[in-house]
Homo-oligomer: A and B are copies of this chain.
Amino acid sequence: MAPKHDLQYPKGAQNTLNRYSDRGSYDLEKVHKIVNSTPVLHVSFQPDPSDPFPAILPMIGQMGSFERPSSSISDPLDCYLHGYISSRVMNVSRAAIASGKPGLPVCIAASKVDGLVLSLTPNSHSYNYRSAVLFGYATPVTDTEEKEWAMEMITNSVVPQRYDNTRIPPIPAEMQSTQILRVTIDSASSKVRDWIPSDSAEDMANKEVVDKVWVGVVPVYETYGEPIPSPLNKVEKVPEYIEEFLKESNEEGLAYATAAGKRPLPVKAKTNHDE
């Protein structure tokens, strides 16, 4: 068995973190975990060189490897995207490949807010958050087997085990209308803030200010509410695989955000001050 190493994305012009660099990481595992637990990814691309503006599409995505499906979260993975795939992004991806490029250059961002960090002065207010950014080349998936594999992975990322509990396999019309992009990752990074408020020594020593301003963290977490059956629904009880997932996710969300709001400042205090 090969020795265990924590694989890291190489630092380059795109992904190197300058500000608050002690919050950052290039670990594949950290980056991939944030991406895989974010319900909506934001995907940016340049629609046309003559267009002044880049575009952003909100999409659903997951990291995975079709070549090595048994890969773990800390292995090199591709990012598969689904959701609102405009014909524009598919057309420019195809055009990029046709012109000899490795695909359409995209930037993918995954961000979660875990808490409101309310400190003494507006400047030092912040969020507790987890964020990851990927840079890579997007290619439309044309292989039927890979497309179905990606559809299953992405469906199960919304609710685990959901795919096998729906009407499958997809019919030919569904396979044809489904568009999936595979993004080969060029570089990536992640950034996390998960601790209590931080203020300057001067403000903390100002009794008048400290006596007046409530300081602390308000935990923020995404909650799944009571499932609402559709008028069409004929299954009497919400299935266990759904109930369990909702319960676990809600407990995890609350636990993470609460722990972050109580965590002391990191020792490397140089860039703690949120300004």
Contact = CB atoms under 8 A, between A and B. Distances in A.
Interface string A110-128: 0101001011111101010
Contacts of A135: 53
B210 A234 contact: yes
Nearest to A195: B230
Interface string A80-95: 0000101110000000
A100 interface: no
A259 B58 CA distance: 23
A262 interface: yes
- The size bracket of the interface on A is 35 or more
A239 B247 CA distance: 31
Contact of A214 (B107, B120, B233): B233
Given A58-B129, A109-B42, A209-B167, A178 B216 contact: no
* Stoichiometry (number of copies): 2
Interface string A136-179: 00000000000000011001001100110111101000100110
Q: Is the interface of A mostly helix, strand, loop or mixed?
A: mixed
Interface of A: 13-14, 18-20, 39-40, 42, 44-47, 51-58, 60, 84, 86-88, 105-109, 111, 113, 116, 118-123, 125, 127, 129, 131, 133, 135, 151-152, 155, 158-159, 162-163, 165-168, 170, 174, 177-178, 186, 191, 196-197, 199, 203-204, 206, 209-235, 238-239, 242, 246, 253-254, 257-258, 261-262, 264, 275
